[in-house]
Structures are given as C-alpha cells and as structure tokens.
Structure 1
Amino acid sequence: MDISIGHMILAYMEDHLQNQDRLEKEWEALCGYQAEPAACSSAQDKNNAKKNRPNGVLAYDHSRVTLKPENNQSNSDYINASLIMDHDPRNPAYISAQGPLSSTVADFWQMVWESGCVVIVMLTPLAENGNKQCHQYWPDEGSDLYHIYEVNLVSEHIWCEDFLVRSFYLKNVQTNETRTVTQFHFLSWMDQNVPESARTLLDFRRKVNKCYRGRSCPIIIHCSDGSGRSGTYILIDMVLNKMAKGAKEIDIAATLEHLRDQRAGMVHTKEQFEFALTAVAEEVNAILKALPQ
C-alpha cells in the first residue's frame, strides 16, 4: 500500500468515526438508497417461498445464484443466495447466502459444489438465546449424505474462543469427484450486533484469505439471513482488498451501495457500518506501522 494513500485514508476514516453527525447523515442517506433493478419474483414464487427464512432478506432475480435443476432434489434452480461482484462482472468475488434451513441443506451443498467453492465463512452461532440462526449442515463426525453430496468432517480446529476451522471432504456421488472445503466459523458475533473486537475479526479474515489466496472461485459467506453480518464482513474485506491492490481513493458508502445493488439489506445497522469503518481504520493503521518508514 502507498504510504501517503494510507495516511489519507486513515485521516478520512478517523474524521468519520469522530464526527458522529457526519456518520449519522451518511447512514441516513444509505438507508434511503434504492437498488435498481430490485425484482425478487423467483424468491417470491410459491414453491420457493418456503426456502426463505420468515421475514428474511430475499435474493434479487438479477444476482441470485441459480442451481442446476437436474441435480436438485426438487428439480428447482432456487436458493436464497446472491452473487456479489467486485470489479469483474464475469467472476463473482463472493456468494452471500442465507444460512441453510433443515430443508435446504442439500441445496446449499449443491451450490458449494457448482460454484467451485473451497472456502465457506460462517458468521453466526447455530442458535442464539434459544432462537435457531442456522441449521447445522455438516456431520458431527464421519460423513453424511445430502442428496448426491457426501460430506465428511475431516478435522475441527479451535483457533481461539471466537472462531474455529473445519475441514470437509466433499464428494459428488454421481460423478465420484471429490474436493476439500474449509469452513471458517466465527462464533461470537450476535445478530444485529457487532463483534467485541475489530482485531479478532481482522485476524479471522487474515486466516480466511491465507487459505483462499490464488483461487478464482467465489467465497461463500453466510450468517442467518445473509445480509447483516455477511454484508459487514464483505464490506470490510472488499475495501481492504481494494487498498491492497493500490486503489487511490476509497468510498465506503459507495462500496456499500454497490453491495446493496446485488443483495438487499447488506449491513443492517449504523453500528455495523461504524464497525466496518473502525475495522478498516485499524487494519490500515497496522499496515502503515509495519511499513518501513
């Protein structure tokens, strides 16, 4: 990263974080933002409605992930997940997905398989205060078959109290092809909230990106509805990746609008938006400190 650009970005972030009035106005403007096009006719189709969480975010028609119906249990092409592009419209950088319901686990693994995915980022505990946030879509041990996808839990490694890493061996039993998929599970981020420490999430992100480096497939990111926590994580990751590639200017609000063009509700609360700014500022600060002065 260019040192002068880094300092400029840091000054911009700190001004935003210190100036609550400015932050409030920016968030109000973001709340009024309308994506165009915003049709969700597939998500609202009566056969697909049961695959969405009650009162959850729906996938837009133009950016939704489409499954191959011939490989699907119910001959459907629908899953509540959205392709998220960064700068290359042909290669989505992320898939932002709803956490699987008990009835959509096979659809989820089909999406993992068909998107060529090797990294899953899970940002929700399975349950919170007795409310189910996501169905456990992997076996506790050994392997389970979900339609034509056999998932074998190879290892589970606890990195720290906030996150763990699981490795799966995924097999398509129709074709006998196999693949290793790594799931990074952040445990302490509660719905509508922010993590206690930006540093912990940034360490988590570093581990995810180290595993992912050099791949051309999208990373699947999910929380419960695939928008609040998922949107916050993607916003942080996208902005920091732009900086690492030498972007000369960064507009976080415009980047969030770009995300909301592709999936509704990305980043739910002002606190989550502020957390994204804080995390970016903290990471830029750390990078600048590590550079030779």
Structure 2
Amino acid sequence: VCVCDVCGVRVVYVCVLCVCDVGLPLTPCSASPVLQELCRQRMATRPPDRPEGPHTSRISSVSSQFSDGPMPSPSARSSASSWSEEPVQSNMDISTGHMILSYMEDHLKNKNRLEKEWEALCAYQAEPNSSLVAQKEENVPKNRSLAVLTYDHSRVLLKAENSHSHSDYINASPIMDHDPRNPAYIATQGPLPATVADFWQMVWESGCVVIVMLTPLTENGVRQCYHYWPDEGSNLYHIYEVNLVSEHIWCEDFLVRSFYLKNLQTNETRTVTQFHFLSWYDRGVPSSSRSLLDFRRKVNKCYRGRSCPIIVHCSDGAGRSGTYVLIDMVLNKMAKGAKEIDIAATLEHLRDQRPGMVQTKEQFEFALTAVAEEVNAILKALPQ
C-alpha cells in the first residue's frame, strides 16, 4: 500500500499484466470501475507483488511529448535502463557462436561483398506476388503506401461480419517462421484514421497480446502513424473499447503502454502491451544497436510462453518492421541452437510474405551489426 502521487489517495500495487514482473501503480481516480474490478479480481488470485523497480509508471499519458521523436525524459519520470545488464539466456553452442560471429564481422568489414549481396536482394522477386485485393477501389484508401501492398496469398483476413466496413481487408501480413500454421508475427502499417477500428479488430481476432511500434507519430511535421490509443481513460473503436491502464517510461528510447481491451459484442476482455520504440526514423536506423537489442529483450520477456503472433508496425510496415523482424527471427533461431544461419535467405523468406521488408542497405547492415553484437553478448554470458 502506498499514497498516490497524483491524488493523494491510498492505493495498492497491482500487476495488471506481466510487463516486467513488477507491479505498476494504479490510481483509483484514473481507472474505470470495470478496470478497478478487474484489478481486484487479479489481486485476489495472484501472490503478492514484488516492490516496484527503478523505472517510472504513470496512468496519465505522455504520448504528446514523443510525437516528433525522442526527448530526454525528466529524472522524475524515468531512469536509465539496466536491462542490458541481465544475462542472455540461450542454447547456442559456443563453437557455433564463435563461427557465426567471425562470419558476421568479416561480412561487415567486406563492404564489396555486402554491396553485392544487397544488390542481389534488391533483384529478388517474390513468387507469387499479386496484390489484386489491396488494389481494389474500396481498399486503396486503406493503404498508407502504394509501394507496400499485401500479397493476395499472404494477408490477414478480418471477419467481415465484425468489421465496421463489412470488409475483410487490412494492410497486414502474417509472417511465418518455421510453422506455416501459426504466424510468429503480423507486419502491418501504422493505422490511418479510417483503419483504427480494423487495427483493433485484428489485434482481437489474432489473439495478440503484444504490439511493437517502431515509429514516432510524426517526423518533421509528416504524420507517420495515427494516434490509435487513448491518451487517458478509454476510447471506443467500433465494438472494441480500449482503456489505457498505464504508460511506463523505460528510458529515453522506448516506453511501454498497457491496455485493457474489451469486445463489447461478447463482453470478453484482454490485456495488451504496446512497446513503443521512439528513436528510429523512416528509412533510417537507430543510433545504437544496443538500445534496440535492449528493447527486443523487453518485448521477448513479456511475450515468453505465448503462442500468438507479435504485431509489428512502423509507418508502412516494411522498412523498420522488416529490420526488426529479421533481427528477432535470426536471433531466435540462434538461441534455439541452429547450426547454420543465412541472413540474406531469411530476408528473402520475409519478402516472400510481405514486399519491401528491409528497405535500405543501411538497414540490412544494421541488422547484421545487431545480430553480431547480440551473439557476442550471448557468448560472454555462456559458461566458458
């Protein structure tokens, strides 16, 4: 029990969702009665929470501070992340790890080979690659970029009977890894004003509990993504009520939001966590691979043990989204003990499912750098 720093009311710490296995402070003045009841039920069935860690959590939104990119967060609201200090758990064989690391470092040093590999990737054509559904007259306004359209054979289908527009179309692609029946990710564009309800319908129907957002809302005055969640309280998007539970500033590079999602048609509820990376701009790369790798660990710790896809989006759902999925997919394979890794072939596999995944040579090089850095961290954490 503690005193709320917003209203002075005595409040309890409740673990509404397992973001970091630490309770998040919930203020009664900000939460809806339904949400309070949910928290009471959870408190009755869960063991006592551990004390809150060094990071700051708020219910009131600070989204507007980050709409144009990262800003230094005041010390009263956040502190530097210690995530990178945690050991990396992996089943990687030491000799395989060293071999892969040596190959990756040589690949990065040999710019001529990198250039040739990127040229070959640019020439790669997915087959089949028709996008007739995405180009239908009624669907064109739902696409943020005409350069990134879903393939007919690889697109998320909404239930038309539950759609506000009675359509099954959304610009989103299921991304398979090893199991063709269960996508590991859904790569999608940042929602438009007219597609927000479709986005939350997809979140609901895919069983999603984790959203990875890789773009600021606005870059240099250009809108990259519609603000698809409430700043405080709740918003209704067709039959989906989204309630902001908390906003947790992890460091200046990313923050975590918790949502309470309710289907008003069935009265079912779910908790969804959004991880928002703030310092990655369109067609560019993050200033530090370390910050993105720390972010990825945070996402994967929350996701661990789930079987639903992770929804990954930037603005068009291809460049930054493709780079993140490529890094995550390769590192997951390595963590499971894969003996051989071909990043270029993995990227072709992604492009078979969604066009434009990884848009620039710099993004491809960044993916190689990030993988090499994480392999190095894994090797240091393994028993020698």
TM-score, length of structure 2 as denominator length: 0.76
Which stretches of structure 1, 4 residues or longer, exceed 3 Å deviation after superposition?
A: none
Find out whether 1:228 has 2:319 as its counterpart.
Answer: yes
Cα offsets for 1:66-98 (capped at 9, x unmatched) = 000000001000000000000100000000001
Q: Distance between the aligned counterparts of 1:17 and 1:54, measured in 2? A: 31
User: How many residues are paired up?
Assistant: 293
Distance in 1 separating the partners of 2:230 and 2:326: 31
Residue number in structure 1 paired with 2:64:
none
Which residue of 224, 235, 241 corresponds with 1:144?
Answer: 235
Report the 3-state secondary structure (helix = DSSP H, G, I; strand = E; otherwise coil) of the residue aligned with 1:246. Answer: coil
- Asked whether 1:28 is paired with 2:114, we answer no
Q: Is contact 2:214–2:321 with CA below 8 Å preserved after alignment? A: yes
1:19-65 CA-to-partner distances (Å, cap 9, x unmatched) read: 00000000000000000000101100000001001434100011100
Instruction: Give me the whole-angstrom Cα distance separating, in 1, the residues matched to 2:199 and 2:101.
Output: 39
The one-letter amino acid paired with 1:236 is: I
Q: Distance in 2 between matches of 1:292 and 1:175?
A: 50
Where is the helix percentage greater, Structure 1 or Structure 2? 1
Matched, 1:213 2:304: yes
* Aligned with residue 102 of structure 1, among 193, 197, 219: 193
Alignment partner, residue 238 of structure 1 = 329
Query: Is 1:165 aligned to 2:256, yes or no?
Result: yes
The corresponding residue for 2:45 is none
Task: Please tell me whether the aligned partners of residues 145 and 316 of structure 2 are also in contact (alpha carbons under 8 angstroms).
Answer: no
Which ranges of structure 2 fall in alignment gaps of 5 or more residues? Answer: 1-91
1:214-250 deviations in Å (ceiling 9; x for gaps): 0000000000000000000000000000001110000
Structure with higher Rg: it is 2
Inter-partner Cα distance in structure 1 for 2:108 and 2:128: 32
* Paired letter, 1:152: N
Pairing 1:1-293 to 2, within 5 Å after superposition: 1-293=92-384
Report the Cα distance in structure 1 between the residues aligned to 2:312 and 2:113, rounded to whole angstroms: 30
Measure, in 2, the Cα distance between the counterparts of 1:112 and 1:269: 29
CA distance in 2, matches of 1:290, 1:85: 29
Shift of 1:291: 1.1
- Which stretch shows the higher mean deviation, 54-63 or 24-33? 54-63
Q: CA deviation at 1:292?
A: 1.4
| Cα distance in 2 for residues equivalent to 1:53 and 1:61 | 17
CA distance in 1, matches of 2:282, 2:191: 16
Larger mean CA deviation between 164-173 and 55-64 belongs to 55-64
Give me the whole-angstrom Cα distance separating, in 1, the residues matched to 2:131 and 2:241.
Answer: 31
Question: What SS does the aligned partner of 1:104 have?
Answer: helix
- Range 55-64 or range 266-275, more displaced: 55-64
Q: Which runs of 5+ in 1 are unaligned?
A: none
User: 2:163, 2:198 within 8 Å by CA — same for their partners in 1?
Assistant: yes
Identity %: 84
Distance in 2 separating the partners of 1:279 and 1:148: 40
Aligned partner letter, 1:48: N
- In structure 1, C-alpha distance between the alignment counterparts of 2:195 and 2:375, rounded to whole Å: 39
Distance in 1 between the 2:249 and 2:134 partners?
A: 36
Aligned partner letter, 2:306:
R
